[in-house]
């Protein structure tokens, strides 16, 4: 398939939502798979609803997802061309002026067939359509018209777009026909639905791509997830970007709508966090710690690179998003930790002595490695005639403020001697009746 040219053509009336992102992804993958060109075309002909801010958000979203474009256009920059073609249509007698707008004359009889790459042949009765506006009274072009002129001029070979555009296709085909232009191939991809099985929208909660970034998802996870919504390659679930490019093609795209299942996205995000380069993950962890207000920039700085790396390595094992990781990292920084309700029962008064003894033993340690800490605590526990089980959870909660987390000794080593000793003593004193 030589010279594939596809485009993603969003209207800049708001943020890029995941449905649009998937359309962009499918176009991008198709272009990259075939060694073709991916065009970003901003459809801003509706000047009252389009904003510069939305354009910026769309670009930022695409960049974050790694969907780079080879060519960039704005429809408003092509108004003269649209006007020229509209005039041509009028002269040909297939368009006429009425109420200040220019209308396209729809064929009264017969049927129009769309040969869709995904849906197959779809026929429409021409009588179902009414004449439609191609040029508004303010001389700006409408979607169906500008779309045809631009796709033709830009040499678009495949129009891959959402299913909701299926009914527009006959209109566009007529315009191509009237102009004597060769239409591109069409591929209508199924919609993404919310849990209630209606078209995914704001009322379903988070739908903006940037919102997923804010919530701590990795772009590769969202890309992987979106790719698998309506497309598959055998039983494979995890795909790297390179694999998606290698395997993606239209024949793997289904024709039925798919529900956006956040539980699966979370699973994928966890998988991708586990696969993430540690240096990068540590950097991201620092960013989210700041974003979530878990610690200040100075505190993160003071923690140091090594500990941040180690924290990322340990915390990614049991957290599904970067935001969760950031909150789980709270104990690495100075300050009071709140004790979870369900953990209050762990702190029995008779633990006051043992905890103080353990704190003192740990304080005497020269090296605060996981191994050293483990040896020290196990030794002390045996000496006190206790079992590790008796103190493990109390220590964990005292130091981390949580009942769940990394291996206790790893956790203590990561927190560092100072925080560990301080927090153990604080709890011990409290239990001692002070």
Partner RNA sequence: GUCCCCGUCGUCUAGCGGUCUAGGAUCCCGGUCUUUCAAGCCGGAGGCGGGGGUUCGAAUCCCCCCGGGGACACCA
Number of chain positions touching RNA (CB under 7 A): 76
151 binds RNA (CB under 7 A): no
259 binds RNA (CB under 7 A): yes
Q: In this complex, which beta carbon is closest to RNA, that of residue 199 or of residue 290?
A: 199
- Considering only residues 292 to 351 of the shown chain, the ones binding RNA according to CB under 7 A are 317-318
Can you tell me which of 126, 407, 422, 426 binds RNA, judged by CB under 7 A?
407
What is the distance between the alpha carbons of residues 194 and 260, in angstroms, rounded to a whole number?
6
Do 46 and 258 touch, CB atoms closer than 8 A? no
183 binds RNA (CB under 7 A): no
Q: How far is CA 403 from the centre of its chain?
A: 30
- For residue 44, the minimal CB distance to RNA (Å) is 8
Residue 320 annotated as catalytic: no
Angle at 64 between CA 62 and CA 332, to 5 degrees: 160
Angle at 269 between CA 263 and CA 275, to 5 degrees: 145
Q: How far is CA 96 from the centre of its chain?
A: 45
CA atoms within 13 A on the CB side of 360: 9
Residue 428's H or E segment, with its range, is: helix 417-431
- Considering only residues 46 to 65 of the shown chain, the ones binding RNA according to CB under 7 A are 46, 49
Task: State residue 109 phi and psi, 5-degree precision.
Answer: -120, 175
- For residue 311, the minimal CB distance to RNA (Å) is 15
Residue 267's H or E segment, with its range, is: helix 262-275
What is the distance between the alpha carbons of residues 318 and 324, in angstroms, rounded to a whole number?
9
**Dihedral sign (CA 334, 338, 340, 344):** positive
Residue holding tokens 């249509």?
89
Q: In this complex, which beta carbon is closest to RNA, that of residue 67 or of residue 227?
A: 227
Residue 324's nearest CA partner among 335, 315, 313, 332 is 315
141 - beta bridge partners? 135
Residue holding tokens 């990394």?
406
Can you tell me which of 59, 168, 360, 422 binds RNA, judged by CB under 7 A?
168
Region from 79-87, 175-183, 185-193, 281-289 binding RNA, contact rule CB under 7 A? 185-193
- For residue 80, the minimal CB distance to RNA (Å) is 16
- Considering only residues 195 to 224 of the shown chain, the ones binding RNA according to CB under 7 A are 196-199
What is the distance between the alpha carbons of residues 26 and 130, in angstroms, rounded to a whole number?
32
Region from 30-38, 63-71, 254-262, 291-299 binding RNA, contact rule CB under 7 A? 254-262
What is the distance between the alpha carbons of residues 83 and 376, in angstroms, rounded to a whole number?
82
- Considering only residues 368 to 387 of the shown chain, the ones binding RNA according to CB under 7 A are none
Can you tell me which of 23, 112, 142, 172 binds RNA, judged by CB under 7 A?
142
Q: In this complex, which beta carbon is closest to RNA, that of residue 290 or of residue 372?
A: 372
What residues contact residue 72 under an 8 Å CB cut-off, 6+ apart? 39, 40, 41, 42
- Considering only residues 10 to 39 of the shown chain, the ones binding RNA according to CB under 7 A are 10-11, 13
Q: In this complex, which beta carbon is closest to RNA, that of residue 50 or of residue 300?
A: 50
- For residue 206, the minimal CB distance to RNA (Å) is 16
- For residue 199, the minimal CB distance to RNA (Å) is 3
**Residue 64 Cα distances to 59, 357, 402, angstroms:** 8, 51, 33
Angle at 66 between CA 63 and CA 67, to 5 degrees: 80
Q: In this complex, which beta carbon is closest to RNA, that of residue 3 or of residue 128?
A: 128
Q: In this complex, which beta carbon is closest to RNA, that of residue 122 or of residue 339?
A: 122
229 binds RNA (CB under 7 A): yes
Q: In this complex, which beta carbon is closest to RNA, that of residue 76 or of residue 426?
A: 76
- For residue 135, the minimal CB distance to RNA (Å) is 8
Residue 335's nearest CA partner among 266, 233, 423, 274 is 423
Tokens at residue 129, please?
Answer: 């359509």
Region from 41-49, 241-249, 300-308, 420-428 binding RNA, contact rule CB under 7 A? 41-49
What is the distance between the alpha carbons of residues 168 and 157, in angstroms, rounded to a whole number?
17
- Considering only residues 90 to 129 of the shown chain, the ones binding RNA according to CB under 7 A are 99-101, 119-120, 122-125, 128
- How many helices (H) and strands (E) the chain has is answered by 18, 12
- For residue 393, the minimal CB distance to RNA (Å) is 5
- For residue 265, the minimal CB distance to RNA (Å) is 8
**Catalytic residue, candidates 92, 202, 264, 387:** 202
Can you tell me which of 302, 364, 382, 404 binds RNA, judged by CB under 7 A?
404
132 binds RNA (CB under 7 A): yes
- For residue 68, the minimal CB distance to RNA (Å) is 21
Hey, which residues are catalytic here?
202
């Amino acid at each position: 398939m030589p010279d594939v040219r596809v485009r993603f053509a969003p209207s800049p009336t708001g943020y890029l939502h995941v449905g649009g992102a998937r359309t962009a992804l499918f176009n991008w993958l198709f272009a990259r798979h075939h060694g073709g060109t991916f065009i970003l075309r901003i459809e801003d002909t509706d000047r009252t609803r389009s904003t510069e801010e939305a354009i910026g958000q769309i670009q930022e979203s695409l960049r974050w997802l790694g969907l780079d474009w080879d060519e960039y256009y704005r429809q408003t920059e092509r108004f003269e061309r649209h006007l020229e073609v509209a005039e041509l249509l009028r002269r040909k007698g297939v368009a006429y002026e009425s109420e200040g707008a220019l209308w396209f004359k729809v064929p009264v009889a017969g049927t129009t067939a769309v040969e869709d790459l995904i849906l197959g042949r779809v026929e429409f009765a021409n009588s179902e359509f009414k004449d439609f506006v191609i040029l508004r009274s303010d001389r700006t072009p409408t979607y169906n018209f500008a779309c045809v002129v631009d796709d033709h001029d830009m040499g678009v070979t495949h129009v891959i777009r959402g299913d909701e555009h299926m009914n527009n296709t006959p209109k566009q085909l007529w315009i191509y026909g009237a102009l004597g232009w060769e239409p591109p191939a069409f591929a209508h991809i199924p919609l993404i639905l919310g849990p209630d099985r209606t078209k995914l929208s704001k009322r379903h909660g988070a739908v903006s791509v940037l919102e997923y970034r804010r919530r701590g998802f990795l772009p590769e996870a969202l890309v992987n997830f979106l790719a698998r919504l309506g497309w598959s390659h055998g039983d494979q679930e995890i795909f790297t970007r390179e694999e998606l490019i290698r395997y993606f093609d239209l024949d793997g795209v289904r024709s039925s709508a798919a529900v956006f299942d956040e539980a699966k996205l979370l699973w994928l995000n966890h998988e991708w966090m586990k696969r993430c380069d540690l240096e990068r993950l540590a950097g991201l962890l620092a960013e989210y710690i700041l974003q979530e207000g878990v610690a200040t920039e100075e505190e993160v700085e003071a923690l140091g690179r090594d500990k941040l790396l180690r924290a990322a390595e340990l915390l990614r094992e049991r957290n599904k998003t970067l935001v969760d990781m950031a909150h789980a990292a709270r104990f690495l920084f100075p300050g009071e930790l709140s004790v979870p309700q369900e953990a209050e029962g762990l702190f029995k008064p008779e633990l006051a002595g043992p905890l103080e003894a353990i704190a003192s033993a740990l304080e005497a340690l020269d090296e605060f490695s996981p191994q050293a800490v483990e040896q020290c605590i196990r030794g002390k526990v045996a000496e006190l005639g206790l079992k590790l089980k008796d103190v493990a959870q109390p220590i964990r909660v005292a130091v981390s403020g949580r009942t769940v987390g990394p291996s206790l000794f790893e956790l203590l080593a990561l927190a560092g001697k100072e925080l560990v000793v301080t927090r153990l003593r604080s709890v011990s004193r409290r239990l001692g009746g002070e």
